[in-house]
Chain A
Amino acid sequence: MSAIPQETRSTCPYCGVGCGVIIETRAHAITGVRGDPEHPANFGRLCTKGSTLHLTASAAVTRQTRLLQPLQRLQRRGPPQPLAWNAALDLAADQLGRIVHEHGPDALGFYLSGQLLTEDYYVFNKLAKGLLGTNNLDTNSRLCMSSAVAGYKATLGADAPPASYADFDHADCLFIAGSNTAWAHPIAFRRIEDAKRARPGLKIVVVDPRRTDTVELADLHLAIQPGTDVMLFHGMLHIMLWEGWTNPAYIAAHTSGFDALQAVVRDCTPTRVAEVCGITAQDLREAARLFATSPATLSLYCQGLNQSSSGTAKNAALINLHLATGQIGRPGAAPFSLTGQPNAMGGREVGGLANLLSAHRDMANPQHRAEVAAHWGLDQVPGTPGKSAVEMFEAAADGQIKALWIACTNPAQSMPDQATVRRALQRAEFVVLQEAFASTATAEFADLLLPATTWGEKLGTVTNSERRISRVRAALPPAGEARHDWAIGVQLAHRLEARLRPGQATLFPYPTEAPEAGVEAIWCEHRESTRGRDLDITGLSYALLDRQGPQQWPLPAGAQTGKARLYEDGVFPTPDGRARFSATAYQPVAESRDERYPFSLTTSRLRDQWHGMSRTGTLGRLFGHVPEPAVQLHPQDMARHQWRDGELVSVQSRRGAIVLPVQASTDIGISQACIAMHWGSEFLSGCSATGEALAGVNTLMPSTFCPGSKQPELKHAAVRISKAELPWSLVAMAWLPADQALTVREQLKPLMAAFAFSACVPFGPSGPSGPSGPAQGERTGVLFRAAALEAPPPELLVQIEALLGLRDTDSLRYIDAQRGQRRTVRVEPQGEDIRVTGLLLGGDTRAEVWLKTLLQEYLPAQAYGRLLLSPGAEAPVAVVSQGRTVCSCLGVTDQAIEAKLAVCQGPDEDRLGQLQGALKCGTNCGSCVPELKRMVRLIKPVTG
């Protein structure tokens, strides 16, 4: 192995902050990653997810989880068979060609991803709307940012976040609404923490039904009832008007439509708003005061506003406040939408939504269509509206759309109303999945699987939340037979051209054999399309990006740098140059709580996971913070129903049900419930009474979407919750060689449907994996948990034991078949100690509390002998656990922190300092700092 490390500058593939990373490679293997100190988004910092990227790209993970060759499924649900790329592309072209011929181009649906690069997007957009002639091309940005887009366009006239991260340092008030920035955009939050540290006068208001880690930094937390944001914002405006806190001069000079809005907010009186939102009138007034009267107010918002049946109205109502108070176009003053995905922005720039065309053009606008047709050298592009994500899958379920081409996203996990989505995937005649990972939930439905490149291999550009374009560079050649997404699009296009417009010059003159040249050619064509548009980047080039680093748009020809801030002149990209107030009245959530569905279910993100976890889910250590799925409920609701932590409940909405453990949390309100959006059927499943496999959290969510943005309400559903009476329980877990663990998890997944409830997750060493523990990456843990009405046939348990390596002759066993009791413990000598390296508990699983600790923390177990098989929650020999991981980077657990805090004296700031000085927790990526602060606050020093 060569000792000379190569370094490649690229970007992080996770959230929309768009951090720069430096990838270290040795001998064609990614050996490390660190933050790019020169990247203006993160200046060298990375979060728990970004700083472990290299581990997700290890040879072992690649071999076990990546899709490495084209596969064809000869019959649905059957095992896919390998085939050559040419055969695969011919098959795809034949099928699409046939369907276009038989049913017309609108029988096709392309469903792409905010994780594709701008160049990938551009090719597929041109392929669908240009070559094939259908606008049925949408992306998962529809589930993520389309409300923000619609909100911006409805008010400011263009889909452009007007601010920069640098504005954090100029704001006097940060108004964070519907965003758990601390977890979902960690590096942005680090910068906010810096700003607050530098200027303690900075006031932070957080609007969120849940008490998230973001709230830890807040001066004011408005825990509103889910979905009442519009009422809140209108109520704030009502008070601003009453108090004379608005900016009439700005309203008069730069806006229109204020009178209509005034009429709407008139009856949003403090009393009514306080009642609807479930907050006090004082807090409401304080929020209005801080927003309006601070010298500069910057609002940050994300899925809490976007994923809503009134998402556009929520965005617009917040922007209303900026316009009414003139909190826009100045340093630190703007409505700043935080983008969810790394390149949702870039996708929209090339028109990657059913209602958009290249360079922020509107499909509905004939002028725009003509411009794009000219740009592509076509007579015309189609004017019939395309189908948005939800509509596309409903159309497929209804049989209108015959072929689905899915790239770089996982609708069988991420779309609401999974029943319909899965019906669509089954009914469609031809489903193509272009993916980097082999075993997403969607892969099970694909007729054709095309291996795509991913982080570390891809090249092109991305645009982050602050309109900043960065180069994405390849550190490695593609894994296996994987190809770049854009190249797959081009090669498919060439085949389709041969069928649909034979003899004519290709619309896709991009060399796929020379990727660097290829992506640059695509990008230059895209750049040309932006000339004169709000996002004009005609002054930008790959060369300039290489020379001067990431740049913000617009950057028109002649400009030296991009624009850090928009609308400083008060002129907006609307026909009359004025921003428009949006006078939309408050609408409640699509499904209000009622006696049949008495809980408000919200979905959330986890600190150490991202989306469907196809990447983060490969690392055991990222499960240290939140190891397993659970539904959170307020302790009072738990007490009322006499549920205990960890008990299984069935969560049912009007669309479906899932089973998972319940967990008390004071972070949410009474009659509210919360499940992380990551838990799809790849990790959380089971089997319904009628025998269907349970499809994860989004089974519950409604597909009801915002009329303006067509973004579905993924953030709220009315549910009922009842105890799941599944007396027989199972927990099986083992350390496995890192080059087998993920394969084993894949082999366990099919068994999940054999139980009424099941979860299957990797895990890592908890606490610092000391010398006794395995070297990082040497071993990975896999945990399988299940429950059922009665004990399953022993063969099934034997199968699970075999997969987890518990069938070896040295394992201790206890079997009382008649009582459904089965316990198996694998022990291995390590040095002079005996350690538990695997276990299966069936029936009575109470011993998990101490056995799991023995296993996960590599505690010596020779003292137990056969008592390792003894039942009950009481350890036969006392076990001292190190607790739950709080700081993933340095493996510091809550118990270590609590012990230290007990002896840290002084004010909280000092105590945090002492804590970090002693344990180093939160000193690397800092993602756990909000949690540390909370612990500092709650755990008082032991005096005397």
Chain B
Amino acid sequence: MKKLKLVMVGNGMAGVRTIEELLKVDPSLYEITIFGAEPHPNYNRIMLSPVLAGEQTLEDIVLNPYDWYHDHGITLHSGKTVVQIDRTRRVVRAEDGTEAAYDRLLLCTGSTPFMLPVPGKDLQGVIAYRDIHDTNTMIETAAKHRHAVVIGGGLLGLEAANGLMLRGMSVTVVHVNAWLMERQLDDVAARLLQHSLEERGLQFRLGAQTQALVGGEDGRVKAVRFKDGTEVPADLVVMAVGVRPNTELAEQAGLLVNRGIVVNDTLQTVTDPRIWSVGECATHRGTAYGLVAPLFEQAQVAANHLAEFGIARYLGSHTSTKLKVTGIDLFSAGNFMGGEGTEEIVLSDPRAGVYKKLVIQDDKLIGACLYGDTVDGSWYFKLLRERCSVADFRDQLMFGESSRQSSALKA
């Protein structure tokens, strides 16, 4: 019989993982077509930082080489951006006119970096940090220029800053918040992080409001000016102040969008059950995830339904973070800031540069923030996801799974 047509828009990690999961379950159900805006096969976006840092090459981070698509009989249109979905005819069209009809459509358009709306944001040398192109731009700039400013002291910004520093640039990280990575770290851990990054040579402007990017005659950015009037020199400005889900296509197709493309527990869009969406472009139960782990969980569920098993449900993810800066171990998960009705256990070993904070509520671990020693991160993350009571080993909790076992043996 004639195969169903599955079209995927977006050739990124979440989407391709969905296809992989699907092929595992049922390799023969679909005739698959993939559109990808970037002129590359699917690569590991989160490994761009090691590439920038010169620790890995682009080849190293390719997840699915062209052969993979070919071997699985997948039609890949790379470097082609889809600009229209015709839900009546069930056809998608790329900007070059390429069309593909679908029975089922998978939207994995990902997200775009948010650019601060400040004067000079369009100057030459002002970029975001998102893909191989940005990464190459940074590598090239680092070879020619001296001063770099990274706006945004989050995960991505710090990785970019670290990479640029390792490529020989003098890097200043500008962050509007009082401490770095406020979404992943509490202030104590953040200061430890900042301290060790400063020791490596990074400079920081915390609580700094960027007012404008100052350009030179050559039309290239030459400095960043702050609200307090001060400036720091910059031949390169990298904006890493967050991302926006790519939803133009979905909106124009009349799908319900609320920050991201709204999907249900089967990852089908609430507007059109023929259309699935996973990844950074999707909003599930009000959350659009930006980290890879949840997206893979989504992929599994989406694939399950595309394969017409119809049993899996996606209930949302707990997220945990690791910073990919060699020599810096940090881990955080859940509600590590604590607050009303929560209890904290804190351990610090300044000499060893270690800080650990566990947040507990109703005898359950609800958050963890580890710096310097993240060995037990996975154990805490497990306890956190399983929501099991830690009451009977609370006093050992901080000392890791091993001490719990040893104390259990003693008992």
Chain A interfacial positions (CB closer than 8 Å to B)? 809-819, 821, 827, 844, 865-867, 869-872, 874, 876
Contacts and interface: CB of A to CB of B under 8 A. Distances in A.
Nearest to B354: A866
A870 B399 contact: yes
Interface in B231-289: none
Contacts of B354: 866
Given A814-B347, A872-B410, 14 more contacts: A809-B350, A813-B346, A813-B348, A816-B345, A816-B394, A816-B395, A866-B347, A866-B349, A866-B352, A866-B373, A870-B396, A870-B399, A870-B403, A872-B395
B403 A869 contact: no
A815 B352 contact: no
A809 B343 CA distance: 24
A817 to B, nearest CB: 7
B344 interface: yes
A871 B396 contact: yes
21 contacts: A809-B350, A810-B350, A812-B350, A813-B346, A813-B348, A813-B349, A814-B345, A814-B346, A816-B344, A816-B394, A816-B398, A817-B343, A819-B395, A866-B347, A866-B354, A866-B399, A867-B399, A871-B396, A872-B395, A872-B407, A876-B403
B2 interface: no
B186 to A, nearest CB: 14
Interface of B: 343-352, 354, 373, 394-396, 398-399, 403, 407, 410
Contacts of B398: 814, 816, 869
A844 B347 CA distance: 15
Nearest to A825: B349
Contacts of B403: 867, 870, 876
Majority secondary structure, B binding face: mixed
Residue from A809, A817, A866, A870 having most chain B Cβ neighbours under 10 A? A866
Contact of A865 (B346, B348, B352): B352
A811 B354 CA distance: 12
A811 B348 CA distance: 8
Nearest to A867: B399
Contacts of A813: 346-349
A271 B398 CA distance: 67
Nearest to A870: B399
Contacts of B348: 812-813
A821 B346 contact: no
A454 B377 CA distance: 63
Residue from B349, B350, B396 having most chain A Cβ neighbours under 10 A? B349
Nearest to B347: A814
A821 B350 CA distance: 19
Majority secondary structure, A binding face: mixed
B347 A810 contact: no
Contacts of B373: 866
Contacts of B351: 810, 812, 827
Residue from A827, A870, A876 having most chain B Cβ neighbours under 10 A? A870
B349 A821 contact: no
A821 B395 contact: yes
A254 B373 CA distance: 89
A812 B396 CA distance: 16
Contacts of B394: 816, 819
Given A866-B399, A872-B407, A874-B410, A815 B346 contact: yes
Nearest to A844: B395
Contacts of A876: 403
A665 to B, nearest CB: 30
A819 B396 CA distance: 13
A815 B398 CA distance: 10
A281 B395 CA distance: 59
A720 B339 CA distance: 48
Contacts of A869: 347, 349, 398-399
A426 B355 CA distance: 52
B345 A815 contact: yes
The 4 closest A-B pairs by CB, nearest first: A818-B343, A816-B345, A812-B349, A814-B347
Nearest to A827: B351
B353 to A, nearest CB: 11
A892 B349 CA distance: 35
A685 B352 CA distance: 38
Contacts of B345: 814-816
A818 B348 CA distance: 17
A827 B352 CA distance: 11
A698 B398 CA distance: 45
B371 to A, nearest CB: 13
Contacts of B347: 812-815, 866, 869
A249 B256 CA distance: 127
Nearest to B403: A870
B395 A871 contact: yes
A622 to B, nearest CB: 34
Nearest to A868: B349
Nearest to A815: B346
A832 to B, nearest CB: 15
Contacts of B395: 816, 819, 821, 844, 871-872
Nearest to B360: A818
Nearest to B344: A817
Nearest to A865: B352
B380 to A, nearest CB: 15
Contacts of A812: 347-351
Nearest to A828: B351
Contacts of A867: 399, 403
A526 to B, nearest CB: 65
Nearest to B343: A818
A876 B402 CA distance: 11
Contacts of A816: 343-346, 394-395, 398
B304 to A, nearest CB: 42
A809 to B, nearest CB: 5
A133 to B, nearest CB: 69
Contacts of A821: 395
Residue from A813, A816, A865 having most chain B Cβ neighbours under 10 A? A816
Contacts of A872: 395, 407, 410
A763 B318 CA distance: 51
Contacts of A874: 410
A809 B345 CA distance: 19
A745 B293 CA distance: 56
A810 B394 CA distance: 25
Contacts of A866: 347, 349, 352, 354, 373, 399
A834 to B, nearest CB: 8
Contacts of B343: 816-818
Residue from B348, B350, B394 having most chain A Cβ neighbours under 10 A? B348
A870 B347 CA distance: 10
A871 B399 CA distance: 9
A870 B410 CA distance: 14
A811 B349 CA distance: 7
Contacts of A809: 350
Contacts of A819: 394-395
Contacts of A865: 349, 352
B396 A811 contact: no
B94 to A, nearest CB: 56
B373 to A, nearest CB: 8
A865 B352 CA distance: 9
A261 to B, nearest CB: 67
Given A816-B394, A866-B399, A871-B396, A811 B346 contact: no
A865 B346 CA distance: 16
A827 B346 CA distance: 18
Nearest to A818: B343
A813 B356 CA distance: 10
Contacts of A827: 351
A428 to B, nearest CB: 51
A819 B346 CA distance: 12
Nearest to A871: B395
